[in-house]
Amino acid sequence: MNTLWIGMDISKGHVDVTALCDDASKDKRRSDTVLFSRKFDDTRDGHTDLSSILHTLIISASPPSAVYIGMEATGGYQGNWERWAREEQHLLAAYTSVRVYVLNPLAVKRYLDRELHRAVTDSSSALGIAQYLAYGMRAADTPSTAAMEGATQYYRAIRSMIRRAASLMTELESLLQRTHPELIRYCRDGIPPWVLQLIERYPTSTLLGRARPETLRTHSRCHHEDGRDHYRSGKDERGLADRSLHAAVHRSDGVRSAPSQRTH
């Protein structure tokens, strides 16, 4: 056995594992042999079962020269298996070189699409990850190390928060169009802090209609005067914002008072 590639397709509570090996005496591209393909629970017993199979393959008369273990980043589900793989890396260091990779799912998918792997099941995904380890690895794919685990999780958490914040901002702009359309003109390059403060205090047109003009003027000016609001600046634009907000107040008052006028 020359090289061993282990692909792990991780789901909630279990993992599908496929192990490939190559034979140096044959054409490398076509000599893949599937040594095993099984499902393991994400429990202590499941980890032990997979370790037993892996040790049997490696601690043998002809151990592989290198072992590559790969899994996709799955939003945290890979954490237990990543730690398991690192433990195995330490235990098997005396027998062979073991490298652990947490792969970008998009890179694996594009590789499989290019290779025309159309059937998508858990077992075929594990096989695809093993084949990616063997033939599709990019320069950006670097082995996962314990020293980088904290920094990697921190980076992923920040990236996830940025995506959620962008999604919330998009949803807020859509709602703002329905409740405070007069403010949309000031949100073409993002929502300024003064608009966020304004809608936090006056989330509906009814509440905005009850606000005093002096209060609205304070909200529209506060971020311009201290220089932190880079979206709008200058007396003319501040005046335009004041007039627009005041007009919104009058329109809200008119809409609210119209029914009472008809009743009289």
Q: What is the pLDDT of residue 26?
A: 46
**What pTM was computed for the model?**
0.58
pLDDT digits (tens, 9 = 90+) for 126-169: 999 999 998 888 776 777 766 676 777 787 788 889 989 889 88
Does residue 190 have a pLDDT over 60? yes
217 pLDDT exceeds 80? no
Instruction: Compute the mean pLDDT over every residue in the chain, rounded to the nearest whole number.
Output: 77
Q: Is the pLDDT of residue 255 over 70?
A: no
Single-letter residue type at 63: P
User: Identity (one letter) of the amino acid at 200?
Assistant: E
Taking 90 as the threshold, does the pLDDT of residue 209 lie above it? Answer: no
The mean per-residue pLDDT over the stretch 96-113 comes to 89
- 10 or 178: which leads in pLDDT: 10
Percent of the chain's residues with pLDDT above 90: 22
Residue 250, pLDDT > 70, answer: no
Q: Tell me the mean pLDDT in the region 232-238.
A: 45
Of 2-6, 57-61, 176-180, 182-186, the range with the highest mean pLDDT is 2-6
Which phi and psi (to 5°) does residue 131 adopt? Answer: -65, -35
d(CA 89, CA 107): 24
Domains and CATH numbers, the chain: 3-144 (3.30.420.10), 163-259 (no CATH)
Give 40's contacts (C-beta < 8 A, 6+ positions apart): 14, 15, 17, 46, 47, 49, 50
User: Which one is predicted more confidently, 218 or 255?
Assistant: 218
pLDDT confidence of residue 218: 65
Which amino acid would we find at residue 166?
A: A
Question: Is the torsion defined by CA of 10, 13, 16, 17 positive or negative?
Answer: positive
From 104, 146, 153, 152, select the one nearest 129 (Cα to Cα). 104
Measured distance CA(8)–CA(12) in Å, rounded: 13
For residue range 18-77, list pLDDT tens digits in order. Answer: 999 876 544 444 457 888 999 999 999 999 999 999 998 888 767 888 999 999 988 778
What does the pLDDT read at residue 213?
A: 73
